[in-house]
Structure 1
Amino acid sequence: MSAPMTSGEVILHALPALCLIVVAAQLAGRLAARMGQPRVLGEIVAGIALGPSLLGLLWPQAHAYVFPSQVLGAMNVLAQLGLVLFMFLLGLEIEWSALRGQGRKAVAISQVSVLLPLLLGAGTALWLYPRMGGDGGGGGVLGFALFLGAAMSITAFPVLARLLLETGLHRTRIGVLTIACAAVDDVTAWCLLAVVVAVVGSAGVLQALLTLTLAIAYVCLMLFVVRPLLAHRRPPLWAVLSIVLMSAWTTELIGIHAIFGGFLAGVIMPRRQAWRTEVHHRLDAMVSQLLLPVFFVTVGVTTRIDALNSWYFWGITALLTAVAIAGKLGGATVTARLTGESWRDSTVIGVLMNTRGLTEIVILTVGLQLGVITETLFTAMVVMALITTFMAAPLLRRLGVGQMAGEGPPEHRPAPTAADAQPVAVGPERSDYATHSPR
């Protein structure tokens, strides 16, 4: 067992490690962009490659030197801060005006694309629990089933927004409808996950009810007291960060994880476009260029591709991927068709709603921290998230979606009010995890 490092030794290891992370994330992101994929996909893969699945396998001495346990412990703090700020930016970007004129259809598509994956995921979990369930939390098989169902239900809002921009759909009727579906979907899924975390993290029914009661009270406080107070103000960045950090601290204290506090802080911020854009620009560089790549490495350390060392485990991975696709892509596509969309447009909506990306990995990390899932299941679900994100761009090209708005068929041309209804889906998004066009 190695001797504990001094603070100076930790810094000597951490600084080159951080440099390696930043460079690897940039290179992998650029490579992914050249392949027609969202940059975040390459950056996640880079984080996994720097972990034991590749670097630790090919050059274990280098991995042990660059990422000793004490350094990884320090990086985990940065990673958690990055997650909180990322969730804040995610909440900040949700534009409720996108629901205008699309409300009923968006709610129908989004709720089915949450409910169906939830049911399929929970059903799969009942079979999977004796094989790959975790040993933490108080939820048992119920908590495991609810968590897996919730994890299947998420859509990566930032990745979806970037795909809309790159395909020219962001100013079309279909683009507006899809972003509205994703907004409702994400709010529903995050609320559902908060309930699941409360159940799993509690010691019993009474504790779970107390946690949920406190969480509901806090949400009401933020929405109906803090939000009106901020509505007509332009709070300075230091005040914004204070609100984000205290909100994250409060939800962690309640027992529903700090990321929910970060997300809620973004939701209650003033909706003034220019102010949101300014806040996004000032925070985005540090979050997207440093903090989230550090998170990818902490994920990479936990993601053990070598643990999927048999056809049995790869079969489970394939099953999880199939269930995820059937629930999300299938549910959104069929519901969109039943609400009056053509099969082509319905499939486009389904493909976009099926992207999971970074948001899925955030949820899986919460489950791993709570002990709900094992490292092997975590790895299998990460592979599922990568596959469902990777398949989006090629499928959209196969559907003929790739030209800029106005060049495609009439149903993909800009609607008269689409620009007004869709400012934020690509507005303040300037990060690699959404819509910054150079990336």
Structure 2
Amino acid sequence: MTPSRPSRAAGWRHRVGPLVGAAALAGALALLGPQVGDGVTSVARFLAAVGLVLAVSHLLGLLFARLGQPPVVGEIAGGLLVGPSALGAAWPDGQRALFTPEVTDGLAMAAQLGVVTFMFLLGAELRLERVAGSERVVGLVVAGSIAVPFATGALMAWLWRDAFLPAGEPLPPYVLFFGIALSITALPVLARILLDSGTRTTGIGTVAIACAAIGDAVAWSALAVVLTLTDGGGAGAVPAKAATAVALVVATALCARPALAALDRLLRDRPKPEAVMLPVLVVGAVTWSALSEVVGLHPVIGAFLFGLAVPRDSALITAVGEQLQGFAVSVLLPLFFAGIGLKTAFGLFGGDVGMWWALLVLLLTATASKVVGAAGGALAAGWSAGDALTLGALMNCRGVTELVVVSIGLQHGLINEAAFTILVLVALLTTAATGPLVRGRVPKPHEVPV
């Protein structure tokens, strides 16, 4: 029996009904908000804010995916929309009523957990063994893709020190931080772009992933030194902080790594091993983050370090990582993007032509220095100009990783809100440009010398 087709009226209800319901709910909240605002509990506000952030971020993620962009670009844009620059400009009373200081603090705590999980997964995905056979090109590309953007970023920071350096803060850590911020390549977003294009396992894709991983490890190490100079009382504190950091690395290598490997072997043939490994990894990542904070480093550095300790090529670790990634990417990272959006104020620009000029110059400088540095290294290794430029465009992807870095810079007083806003936009725009720049240009595996 052939199922009957839904009537035209029923089809209309299915299409328009949800819109009418959503509009009615939004209208009721808008009308009731002024009367009941003072009676709404902080829990209700927090949950409403989380719901709004997740809805906006994922809707824009879907939209950007339809436009050929990584969903994370839309999710970052969604975080900016709920901040003062968009929602606050369109409906300032509603934005302030929902995102109260108490709610913002709660979102910041949840976002911190998201960043810790993200950095742990980033460390767990680092595969240095993939560099085997291409050490020369990877070394040259890493050197170029870090040195050129770092030098350029440091120069730009010095030139705009009056506009971007917080009052009373020392100049050297600020200049160093700016150079690091422009040197970042977002490994997870880059991997997603290559995966979506079916080129992650090609020669150029493998080299790009390896270079991004090693480059980011170098950048995080340099950032740890800068944070020590900033928060630890100057250069005299560096040896002590370095000693504690080395001790944490040694403890990770000699204790955490073999313990995790032994647990992986023990659980391999047990039923439901994820039920044990998942909490172990979460507790370990959070504990290492806390230890990192205690010794004077940022928590994300400890999470990244613990991620490096997990066994490679383990089916159990891979399965648990996918579970963690699903929750972190779907729930926690959008809250981090919202935290970025709440701190980003395009209103600081206003009619100040100098700020818009600074944004344009920094965007062009960040892109050119990254592409030239990475492509120059590939050319020196014997690649063709076309392949080298494609690799340079891939390395220009900054994504979530740079957002984490610039948020740390703002938190520690290394940059002011104007510099923070510009660097957030640079991260968003360079990430959005990566896909279109390399689409259709990544060659087959045998066409790239490694």
TM-score category of the 2 structures, normalised to the smaller one? 0.7 to 0.9
Give the superposition deviation at 1:285.
Answer: 2.3
TM-score, normalised via structure 2 length:
0.85
User: Is contact 1:106-1:177 (8 Å) kept?
Assistant: yes
- Judge which range, 355-364 or 383-392, deviates more: 383-392
> One-letter code of the match for 1:149?
G
1:48-87 alignment runs, 5 A limit: 48-87=80-119
SS at match of 1:90: helix
Determine the structure 1 residue equivalent to 2:255.
225
Query: In the aligned structure 2, how far is the partner of 1:228 from the partner of 1:340?
Result: 40
8 Å contact kept, 2:144–2:376:
no
Assess if the C-alpha contact under 8 Å between 1:82 and 1:292 holds in 2.
yes
2:212 aligned with 1:163: no
Q: Which amino acid aligns with 1:116?
A: V
Cα offsets for 1:302-339 (capped at 9, x unmatched): 01112122210011111211221122111001110111
**Amino acid in the other structure paired with 2:411:** Q
Measured after TM superposition, the shift of residue 136 of structure 1 is: 7.0
Q: Which amino acid aligns with 2:280?
A: A
Q: Does 1:93 align with 2:119?
A: no
- For 1:257 and 1:126, the matched residues in 2 are separated by 25
State the alpha-carbon separation in 1 of the partners of residues 146 and 411 from structure 2.
23
Alignment CA distance shift 1:280-1:256 (3 Å): same
2:301 maps to what in 1? 260
1:245 matched to 2:277? The reply is no
Contact residue 357 and residue 385 of structure 1 kept, 8 A: yes
| Contact preservation (8 Å) 1:231, 1:271 | no
How far off its partner does 1:390 sit?
Answer: 1.1
Q: 1:392 aligns with which of 419, 428, 434?
A: 434
Question: Do the aligned residues in 2 keep the contact of 1:198 with 1:255 (CA within 8 Å)?
Answer: yes
Find the structure with the greater CA-based Rg: 2
In the superposition, the TM-score normalised over structure 1's length comes to 0.87
Equivalent residue in structure 2 for 1:313, among 323, 341, 355: 355
Match for residue 206 of structure 1? 236
| Counterpart pick for 2:154 among 113, 122, 130 | 122
* 1:108-148 C-alpha deviation (Å, 9 max, x unpaired): 111221111111111221122222102476xx110001100
Cα distance in 1 between the residues matched to 2:46 and 2:177: 34
Q: CA deviation at 1:8?
A: 7.7
Structure 1 residue runs of 4+, over 6 Å off?
5-8
The answer (yes or no) to whether the contact 2:399–2:428 under 8 Å persists in 1 is yes
Per the TM alignment, residue 49 of structure 1 is displaced from its structure 2 partner at its CA by: 0.5
1:132 aligns with 2:164: yes
Instruction: State the 1:82 CA deviation.
Output: 0.6
Deviation at 1:276, TM superposition (A): 2.2
Alignment match, 2:28: none
Distance 1:136 1:241, change over 3 A: farther
Q: Which residue of 2 aligns with 1:41?
A: 73
Over the matched positions of the two proteins, sequence identity in percent amounts to 36
Counterpart code for 1:253: V
1:23-46 per-residue CA deviation (whole Å, 9 max, x = no partner) reads 111101001111111111100011
- Equivalent residue in structure 2 for 1:288, among 315, 320, 329: 329
Q: 2:130–2:210: 8 Å Cα contact kept in structure 1?
A: yes
Q: Which residue of 2 aligns with 1:437?
A: none
Structure 1: any 5+ residue segments left out of the alignment? Answer: 419-439
Contact between 1:136 and 1:371, CA under 8 Å: does it hold in 2? no
> Unaligned regions of 5+ residues in structure 2, if any?
1-36, 265-275
The amino acid across from 2:112 in the alignment is Q
Corresponding letter in the other structure for 2:120: F
**8 Å contact 1:79–1:294 — kept in the other structure?**
yes
Structure-2 separation of matches of 1:232 and 1:129 = 51
| 1:259-294 C-alpha deviation (Å, 9 max, x unpaired) | 101111111111133122111122122211111111
Query: Is the alpha carbon distance of 1:236 and 1:410 closer, same or farther for their aligned partners in structure 2, counting shifts above 3 Å?
Result: closer
* Distance (Å, rounded) in 2 between the aligned partners of 1:251 and 1:101: 34
Task: Give the Cα separation in 1 of the matches to 2:111 and 2:39.
Answer: 19
1:297 corresponds to which of 322, 334, 338 = 338
In the alignment, is the contact (CA less than 8 A) between 1:136 and 1:370 conserved in 2? Answer: no
What do residues 373-410 of structure 1 show as CA deviations (whole Å, max 9, x unaligned)? 0011100111111111111111113xx337xx8xx595
Residues in 1 aligned to 2:293 and 2:167: alpha-carbon distance in whole angstroms = 21
Q: Give the paired residue count.
A: 402
Q: Please, which of 215, 222, 225 is the counterpart of residue 192 of structure 1?
A: 222
- Whole-angstrom distance in 1 between the partners of 2:155 and 2:250: 33
Instruction: After TM superposition, give the deviation of residue 91 of structure 1 in Å.
Output: 0.6
Partner of 2:23: none
